[in-house]
Chains A and B, each alone.
Chain A
Amino acid sequence: MRSWPAPLAALVAAIVIFLLPGWLGGLHGAFTVIAILAVAAYGLDIVVSDLGEVSLAHTVFFAAGAYATGLLATRLGAGGWVTLAGALLAGLLIALALGIVTLALREFVFSLVTYAATVVAAAIAHNWNLLGGSDGVSGIPTLDLSAGPLRLTAVNDAQLWPLAFLLMLLTLYAVRQFRRSRLGAMAMMVHLNPRLATMSGIDVRRVRLQVFVLSAPFSAAAGWLYAYQRAYVGPDLFETYFLVLMLTAVVLVGRRRLFGPLLGTALVIGQERFLSFGGDINAIILGGALVVALALLPGGLDGLLRRVLARRAPPIPLSETRTATQS
């Protein structure tokens, strides 16, 4: 997984995955949800893996995308493209505001404030009638992406799957490009050694803000498609379930692995859909997976696999430089 496989192999793999839900007898619903939530997790992945901060506000970006979509589609009868633009804009604006407020904050204080933002956003969603209050927004019409003479609608999961799949491919490509970009390299430098990054002429705060804001559209776009998939948007989007799901997806397989969040999401959703023990036990499994991944398996499943296979790849602490600078 270290190097990008040959384009041909990637193409074949993509085609196989694309056709898989059909072959398996119509599992489009599960695959669509996996793709959507994986895209949401990639937004968080950039911040956690590259910037080295743990944002607990990415459920807000996700929900903002979903709410913007739901409201625009039901109240104004907006089409798919308008709702997408609205979702992205909502995510970006909230991320910008939160990013500016948390500019000087790091580590757990940063996480604490982003968590507080999530709880407050949930309170607002519950109480503000404009957002539908506790009832949320229901009756979201089917997704219509028709442009000019081209007719493109998605009525059911089987028709949404190609779109979710495409969104996932775009996300994978964007994350890969980000990691090869100047900004990605600067984020990594800021993560590894902020002082040295400054000594390379890098504006640490600006990089942090840029990456944080850049990460929001991924989660918001996922929220956009999720609103159509569920045809309903409500305050339940702010529940810890989504937050814990995203975090687990990011850390379960191994950090800074391109396919990590996707595999992580697939494992979690796969368990819930095909090996479910009921909501309560599923919650225990999901929370337990997060605990095990971090407390017992540093480096995630990938690290475990590597240790078993090759006895190498020493565990890397999540905050390498911090432990060093704190002493």
Chain B
Amino acid sequence: MNAAVPVLEARELRVAYGGHVALDIPHLAIAPGELVGVVGANGAGKSTLVNALLGWSRGAPAVSGSVRLDGEEIGALPPHRRVARGLALVPEGGAVFMRLSVAENLAAARPLSGTRGRPHDAAAIHALFPRLAERQHHAASALSGGERQMLAVARALRLGPRALLLDEPSIGLAPRLVADVLRTVRGLVGPDLSVLLVEQNVRAAIAVVDRLVLLERGRILAQGPVAAMRDDPRILEAYLGEAAA
């Protein structure tokens, strides 16, 4: 595979509700082995971006533009087919099947049919998340917030995605757990798996990502390598906004 081909690439991605343009992204790409963070305040368009990449239409918006996975256009596919190609999402709040046990949740996630990614087997999952191995017979509803988030990530890894979208993994978690989860995610990124981390918690995101994209009102305000972006005044502002909140 050509290293120059991004794993996930969006071009001219626009989402409009009636006349209101909620998202306008000329270009966004994630290279193989890259962990990209999308940060922005509440309402900056982060969820809209995730939904548009996956093809979720909420309230029937007009979505236009191109989404490519490994160079192949997937922008016209329904959500489940995009997932089947290897674009997985860990939804906000660590969505898992509450009434199923940990083991059942993992078993229910089967390796995707059309992916070029590498599915994790049960042993690999347990090595990554020993906590889940200990609690495999518990119902997901009995897990703590952090464990549930781990389970959600583990479920996605079982599928063997090429690109993983992580939507606000830090929501509702204690700071120490946030760092734990994100460090685990950092460890997963490699030639087989690239990650798009959508995060409101700028401080936590900066600590792990390679590249940072700052979103505001549905537009990219700034983007670049995290080293260069760290001292960007606009990022500092986002920090401050977070501190004030």
Contacts and interface: CB of A to CB of B under 8 A. Distances in A.
Direct contact of A and B (CB under 8 A): yes
A192 B141 CA distance: 13
Nearest to A196: B95
A300 B107 CA distance: 29
B80 A204 contact: yes
A196 B167 CA distance: 13
B97 A201 contact: no
Contact of B97 (A182, A192, A204): A192
A200 B108 contact: yes
Contacts of B78: 203
Interface string B102-123: 0000011110110000000000
A201 B80 contact: yes
B155 interface: yes
A189 interface: yes
A255 to B, nearest CB: 12
Nearest to A200: B109
A230 interface: no
A200 B110 contact: yes
Contacts of A189: 97, 108
Nearest to A185: B108
B98 A192 contact: yes
A156 B91 CA distance: 59
Contacts of A185: 107-108
B215 to A, nearest CB: 22
A300 B105 CA distance: 26
B200 to A, nearest CB: 21
Interface stretch (B25-33, B81-89, B206-214, B219-227): B81-89
A202 interface: yes
Interface string B44-86: 0000000000000000000000000000000000111101100
A25 B80 CA distance: 57
A182 B100 CA distance: 15
A195 B51 CA distance: 12
Nearest to B107: A185
B38 interface: no
B159 interface: yes
Contact of B100 (A192, A199, A203, A316): A192
Contact of A192 (B89, B99, B110): B99
A198 interface: yes
Q: Which of the listed residues A185, A189, A201 has the most CB atoms from chain B within 10 Å of its own CB?
A: A201
Closest 4 CB pairs of A and B: A201-B83, A201-B84, A198-B80, A203-B80
Given A200-B159, A201-B84, A316-B99, 18 more contacts: A182-B110, A185-B107, A185-B108, A192-B97, A192-B99, A192-B100, A193-B97, A195-B91, A195-B95, A196-B95, A196-B96, A198-B79, A199-B89, A199-B95, A200-B83, A200-B109, A203-B78, A320-B99
26 contacts: A188-B100, A189-B97, A192-B97, A192-B98, A192-B99, A193-B95, A193-B97, A195-B91, A196-B91, A198-B79, A199-B79, A199-B83, A199-B89, A199-B91, A199-B95, A200-B83, A200-B108, A200-B110, A200-B155, A201-B80, A201-B83, A201-B110, A201-B112, A201-B159, A203-B78, A203-B80
